[in-house]
Amino acid sequence: MQHSHVDKPNGNRPITIEVGGEPLGVVVPDAAGFRFLAVRFTAFDIDGQVFESVEAARAAASLLLERQH
C-alpha cells in the first residue's frame, strides 16, 4: 500500500516584526509563546524574549523603538 505525500503547512516559519516599515526582528513559535529574534541592533534589548503573542512582540518592539528616539 502506498501513501501519498501531503505537505503540511510549516507552523514554525518566522514572522517578521516591522515597526514604521522597518523590520526589527522575527518571532518564531516557542513552547511558551513566540520568541523574538532581533535583526537590527536597535531591537537587541528584546532579543530572545518570549511573548504571549505576535502582537505583544510587535508592541514591545514599537515601545523600544519609541524610547530610543
pLDDT for residue 12: 80
**Residue 14 and residue 3: Cα distance in Å, rounded?**
30
**Count, residues in the chain:** 69
Q: Evaluate whether residue 51 is within a structural domain.
A: yes
Q: Which residue type is seen at 21?
A: G
The answer to whether residue 2 sits within a structural domain is no
Domain range holding 36? 21-68
- Kindly give the confidence (pLDDT) of every residue in the chain, 69 residues in length, as a single tens digit, with 9 standing for 90 and above: 454 444 444 578 999 999 999 999 999 999 999 999 999 999 999 999 999 999 999 999 999 999 987
- For residue 34, the tally of other CB atoms under 10 A from its CB is 22
Whether 5 is covered by a domain: the verdict is no
Task: Please state the domain count of the chain.
Answer: 1
Amino acid 60: pLDDT: 98
* Structural domain contains residue 1: no
